[in-house]
Chains A and B, each alone.
Chain A
Amino acid sequence: MDAELAEVRALQAEIAALRRACEDQPAPWEEKSRVQKSFQAIHQFSSKGWKSSKDLKSQLGHLESELSFLSTLTGINIRNYSKQTEDLTGTEMTEKSIRKVLQRHRLSGNCHMVTFQLEFQILEIQNKERLSSAVTDLNIIMEPTECSELSEFVSRAEERKDLFMFFRSLHFFVEWFEYRKHAFKHFKEKYPDAVHLSEGPSSPFMVIRSASQPGFELVIVWRIQIDEDGKVFPKLDLLTKVPQRALELDKNRAIETAPLSFRTLLGVLGIEAALESLIKSLCAEQNG
């Protein structure tokens, strides 16, 4: 048993190191300015080697900096890609000068902590008037699969065969995901006794509890939603848990109206300030 436990630890460390290589990228919302800066840096590097160098190494360097730029720009890191082509033109079609080609594509990569593997088919039909190109099949495998907020979105993308929407929305989703995680971690560190992340910083729930007022609980539910058109937006709700006696004493119905007031607060202060003010209000005694 000990040997196996040791092996588990060793494997986890190794995986963490390999994953860190992926996660070592800066926070996605900071990447906006990083794109500008890396743009300059990459341009400087590649313009040095620009004077047509046939040397493999410098060619590789140039292409790798191109890759780095695209990865930063799209937020998507593609690691592998392969393609197969099948000519489906029958003899009848050739006579009518129609050409039909089926392409099978496979690509995999990651967007921060989410890894994806896509297999899709594109059917190209060329006739006298035009060339049409359409995605005829799309299969997406994503990890981690526990991200339930994503699975509905993935099915929709597969159904619509919408590659671009998939990548664009994935990028924004992950940006919000990382931001939420960062915010929750920040509050946990700043108010360790009041803030509880029972399911970890990656879950949508943050519980605020005051040690001096047991029985009172505020639960922040911060969901990240993706709508029909692929637009990603946060949706925050407040749930309250109070003792029966407190409810009876609450003549102003403050607790009843709390969820609605929270929405207003969000609109006025923004997410982080609103959450902070909630924590402070419940734990006023502690901080005093």
Chain B
Amino acid sequence: MEQANPLHPDGESKGGVLAHLERLETQMSKSRKQSEEPQSVQAQEGALGTKIHKLRHLRDELRAAVQHRQASVKASTANVEPNLAVEMNEQEVLEEKLENVKAVLQAYRFTGLSGKLTSRGVCVCINTAFEGNLLDSYFVDLVIQKPLRIHHHSVPVFIPLEEIAAKYLQTNIQHFLFSLCEYLNAYSGRKYQADRLQSDFAALLTGPLQRNPLCNLLSFTYKLDPGSQSFPFCARLLYKDLTATLPTDVTVTYQGVEALSTSWEEQRASHETLFCMKPLHQVFASFARKGEKLDMSLVS
């Protein structure tokens, strides 16, 4: 005759969880009673009760994951023989742990830096983003040797990788990677702005957008009102700080022969300021919105 399962998982776990719930219940009703009584002595006890409740909640949160795992393991071994139960326990615990670790590893890309261990060392993945838009990723494959060395990478050639590596790689990997992150994120952001300008606001551009690979020197001509006969504005944006996504030097000029009227001059000056303060494609988005308003006034 088969022996009853010595672990008695159902009974034990039910007793454990039930007892826990009962304790919580009594504590809740106790603190509720205390909060109803307004006297100062009871108020003191009530404050204590609330404190206990808060502490318990915090402690329980910290323990919650472990309890859950234990409960699920016990439940799954309910109808299995003792020896198998022990083995399956371990197997399932390991599998669940493995799944959790894999998931958490996936999550690291949201910090901007993630990576995988390799037979030579580590391959670090740098993710870039601009204003919530997730952009390109780059990798740097590091070899653990003395000295630490970059085996290969996907960093564009115009990013000063060697410079940054020379400064930090041997003494402080973290600083090296954070610094590289700064450069790559800024480059990605500038590239994103230039791409958006070209794709979304081609109607306002009167010529091709001129840009260098590093996207820190942009030159273009534009008109607020494409239909008008006026000469376009010519803008030149220079981003001296390679870790920034806003330009450091902006010049907006007028290509026409006649001098600008005051209102046009004001507009030209305000555009210079705008390009310094807001991302390129957002400036053009505001131009487009103003244009729509103008059209409406013509119609009515």
Task: Determine if chain A interacts with chain B.
Answer: yes
Chain A residues with CB under 8 Å of chain B are 1, 4-5, 7-8, 11-12, 14-15, 18, 31-33, 35-36, 39-40, 42-43, 46-47, 50, 56-57, 59-60, 62-67, 69-70, 73-76, 78-83, 105, 107, 118, 120, 122, 132-136, 138, 160-164, 167-168
Query: Is there an interface contact between B105 and A167, defined as CB atoms closer than 8 Å?
Result: no
Q: Is B177 among interface residues, defined by CB-CB distance under 8 A? A: yes
Q: How far in angstroms is the closest Cβ of chain A from B131? A: 6
Q: Tell me the complex Cα distance, A105–B133, Å.
A: 16
What is the predominant secondary structure among interface residues of chain B facing chain A?
helix
Query: Is there an interface contact between A81 and B133, defined as CB atoms closer than 8 Å?
Result: no
- Known interface pairs A32-B175, A81-B103. Does A76 touch B59 (Cβ–Cβ under 8 Å)? no
Q: Tell me the complex Cα distance, A279–B68, Å.
A: 52
Q: How far in angstroms is the closest Cβ of chain A from B191? A: 13
- Sample of 14 further A-B pairs with CB below 8 A, known A63-B98, A64-B101: A7-B52, A12-B55, A15-B59, A36-B171, A36-B172, A36-B173, A39-B144, A60-B94, A66-B117, A67-B101, A74-B113, A80-B104, A81-B104, A133-B134
- Known interface pairs A1-B45, A15-B59, A73-B177. Does A164 touch B129 (Cβ–Cβ under 8 Å)? yes
- Known interface pairs A80-B100, A163-B112. Does A11 touch B55 (Cβ–Cβ under 8 Å)? yes
Query: Is there an interface contact between A73 and B101, defined as CB atoms closer than 8 Å?
Result: no
Q: Which of B102, B103, B122, B185 contacts A43 (CB 8 A)?
A: B122
Q: How far in angstroms is the closest Cβ of chain B from A222? A: 23
Q: Which of A46, A67, A74 contacts B111 (CB 8 A)?
A: A74
CB-based nearest B residue for A136: B132
Query: Is there an interface contact between A8 and B144, defined as CB atoms closer than 8 Å?
Result: no
Q: Tell me the complex Cα distance, A147–B127, Å.
A: 29
Chain B residues with CB under 8 Å of chain A are 44-45, 48-49, 51-52, 55-56, 58-59, 62-63, 65, 91, 94-95, 97-98, 100-108, 110-117, 119, 121-122, 124, 127, 129, 131-134, 144, 171-175, 177-178, 181, 185
Q: Which of A36, A69, A107 contacts B107 (CB 8 A)?
A: A107
Q: Tell me the complex Cα distance, A163–B110, Å.
A: 7
- Known interface pairs A14-B59, A39-B144. Does A122 touch B98 (Cβ–Cβ under 8 Å)? no
Query: Is there an interface contact between B172 and A32, defined as CB atoms closer than 8 Å?
Result: yes
Q: Tell me the complex Cα distance, A62–B49, Å.
A: 45
Query: Is there an interface contact between B129 and A162, defined as CB atoms closer than 8 Å?
Result: yes
Q: Tell me the complex Cα distance, A161–B108, Å.
A: 17
- Known interface pairs A4-B49, A60-B94, A60-B98. Does A167 touch B107 (Cβ–Cβ under 8 Å)? no
Chain A residues contacting B103 (CB-CB under 8 Å) are 81-83
Q: Tell me the complex Cα distance, A248–B124, Å.
A: 63
CB-based nearest A residue for B134: A133
A-B contact pairs, 7 of them (CB 8 A): A1-B44, A4-B45, A36-B173, A42-B117, A107-B107, A164-B181, A168-B112
- Known interface pairs A39-B173, A78-B104. Does A167 touch B110 (Cβ–Cβ under 8 Å)? yes
Q: Tell me the complex Cα distance, A36–B100, Å.
A: 26
Query: Is there an interface contact between B185 and A164, defined as CB atoms closer than 8 Å?
Result: yes
Q: Which of A62, A79, A161 contacts B117 (CB 8 A)?
A: A62
Q: Tell me the complex Cα distance, A213–B131, Å.
A: 54
Q: How far in angstroms is the closest Cβ of chain A from B109? A: 10
- Known interface pairs A4-B48, A63-B105, A74-B108. Does A35 touch B174 (Cβ–Cβ under 8 Å)? yes
Query: Is there an interface contact between B132 and A160, defined as CB atoms closer than 8 Å?
Result: yes
Query: Is there an interface contact between A65 and B117, defined as CB atoms closer than 8 Å?
Result: yes
Q: Tell me the complex Cα distance, A50–B160, Å.
A: 33
Q: Tell me the complex Cα distance, A80–B172, Å.
A: 28
- Known interface pairs A15-B55, A67-B104. Does A162 touch B48 (Cβ–Cβ under 8 Å)? no
Q: Tell me the complex Cα distance, A74–B178, Å.
A: 9
Chain A residues contacting B112 (CB-CB under 8 Å) are 74, 163-164, 167-168
Chain A residues contacting B134 (CB-CB under 8 Å) are 122, 133-135
CB-based nearest A residue for B119: A50
Q: Which of B62, B95, B129 contacts A18 (CB 8 A)?
A: B62
- Known interface pairs A70-B105, A74-B108, A168-B112. Does A5 touch B48 (Cβ–Cβ under 8 Å)? yes
Chain A residues contacting B132 (CB-CB under 8 Å) are 134-136, 138, 160-162
